């Protein structure tokens, strides 16, 4: 609505710019100061000649030149006396007024509707990677971004935007490269360091390597409150057998968590895993994916139980597209491709009246490589 108001103001300004000069009266110049000047110059030449200041030849030459200029000035200021010219000027002004009042306000929108694309959102290709439109798949959009980055390798924003897409597609090595590019081009921050470390952990199948640990330590040095880095440092302590250190890190992280922090549920699950206490419910599909990378029978049983509860809830209330996406992704991470395919089929049936949501399911299935 605001955009159309801006267009209306711009159109009104264009119309006013055309009509303003047309509505002003034409000024007629009956004489002019230049004509009077030339007459004074002729009189001055006569005075100088009479006073003997200039000779007859010089006076005559000066009179001829000033007279020529006087005639030219008088001709230039002579008002038009032709009624034909007046009628032609009036007709042209009326045509211009009609153009300003009709063609500009109504012709321009009609031309845009005919030749433009009013129904296509004005998003760059990077934004369309996450919300593909029409028949374009996520893979084709990612390909467009990659082609752009091949031509513009120093586009820091492009690298930063495609990195999380690589993560969702499971292309972890590419995500690491994209994170490093963004870090080098846009500068070091705690968030960028933490994102790089997360990609390195994913590329190492959930193991916090020495390199990734150094990255997380650098992130907390830049910002001691960087939650993602602190969580992974706790995970590194757990993997090194330092359970007490992991418990301390995660408990401190929970104690300092801001209200409604989205990662609180996952940290509680991790804390419960190492401390033996009960965890509050609520881990999402990403939580399941990260936990599934740890090859422990007990953890796998816990994960499968949570996935089963999610599946049961979705069969009772199938309108939750986010829940279906989490379920399909969880089965894929657990290696249960058939269950992932069946969950996707159930989601399509439950969301039959919402084609845009079905498109999200199809894009996920294609991205996970479980189509067919």
Q: What is the pLDDT of residue 107?
A: 62
Predicted confidence (pLDDT) per residue in 253-312, tens digit: 988 888 778 788 778 888 887 876 544 444 555 555 555 455 455 556 666 777 777 787
Helix, strand or coil for residue 341?
helix
pTM: 0.43
Tell me the DSSP string of 271-303: HHHHH-----S---HHHHHHHHTS--HHHHHHH
**Rounded CA gap, 83 and 78, in Å?**
15
* Mean pLDDT, residues 10-30 taken together: 59
Q: Report residue 147 as tokens.
A: 């082609």
The DSSP symbol for 99 reads I
Tell me the DSSP string of 132-168: --TT--HHHHHHHHHHHHHH-TT-HHHHHHHHHHHHH
Give the list of residues 6+ apart from residue 146 with CB closer than 8 angstroms, or none: 162
**Rounded CA gap, 126 and 141, in Å?**
8
179, 143 in Cβ contact below 8 A? Answer: no
Q: What is the pLDDT of residue 279?
A: 46
Q: What is the pLDDT of residue 368?
A: 75
| Out of 4-8, 173-177, 178-182, 237-241, least confident range | 4-8
Higher-confidence residue of 215 and 6: namely: 215
Listed by start position, the domains of the chain span 283-372
Place of tokens 């009013």: 118
* Mean pLDDT, residues 99-112 taken together: 62
Residue 241 pLDDT exceeds 90? no
């Amino acid at each position: 609505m605001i955009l159309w108001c801006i267009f209306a103001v711009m159109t009104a300004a264009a119309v006013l710019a055309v009509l303003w000069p047309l509505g002003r009266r034409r000024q007629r110049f009956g004489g002019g100061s230049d004509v009077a000047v030339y007459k004074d110059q002729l009189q001055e030449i006569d005075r100088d000649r009479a006073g003997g200041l200039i000779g007859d030849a010089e006076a005559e030459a000066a009179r001829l030149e000033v007279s020529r200029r006087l005639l030219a000035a008088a001709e230039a200021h002579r008002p038009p006396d032709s009624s034909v010219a007046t009628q032609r000027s009036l007709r042209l002004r009326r045509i211009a007024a009609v153009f300003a009042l009709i063609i500009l306000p109504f012709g321009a929108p009609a031309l845009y509707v005919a030749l433009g694309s009013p129904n296509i959102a004005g998003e760059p290709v990077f934004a369309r990677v996450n919300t593909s439109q029409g028949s374009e798949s996520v893979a084709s959009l990612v390909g467009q971004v990659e082609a752009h980055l091949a031509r513009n390798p120093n586009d820091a924003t492009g690298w930063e935007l495609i990195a999380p897409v690589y993560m969702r597609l499971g292309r972890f090595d590419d995500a690491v490269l994209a994170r490093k590019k963004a870090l080098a081009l846009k500068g070091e921050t705690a968030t960028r360091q933490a994102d790089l470390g997360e990609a390195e952990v994913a590329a190492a199948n959930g193991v916090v390597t020495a390199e990734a640990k150094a990255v997380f330590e650098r992130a907390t040095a830049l910002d001691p409150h960087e939650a993602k880095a602190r969580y992974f440092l706790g995970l590194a302590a757990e993997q090194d057998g330092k359970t007490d250190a992991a418990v301390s890190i995660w408990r401190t992280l929970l104690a300092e968590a801001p209200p409604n922090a989205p990662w609180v549920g996952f940290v509680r699950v991790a804390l419960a895993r190492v401390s033996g206490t009960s965890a509050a419910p609520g881990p999402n599909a990403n939580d399941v994916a990260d936990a599934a990378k740890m090859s422990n029978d007990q953890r796998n049983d816990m994960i499968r139980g949570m996935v089963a509860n999610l599946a049961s809830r979705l069969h009772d209330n199938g309108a939750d597209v986010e829940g279906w996406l989490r379920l399909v992704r969880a089965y894929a991470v657990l290696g249960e491709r058939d269950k992932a395919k069946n969950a996707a089929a159930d989601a399509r049936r439950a969301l039959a009246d919402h084609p845009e949501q079905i498109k999200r399911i199809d894009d996920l299935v294609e991205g996970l490589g479980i189509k067919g």
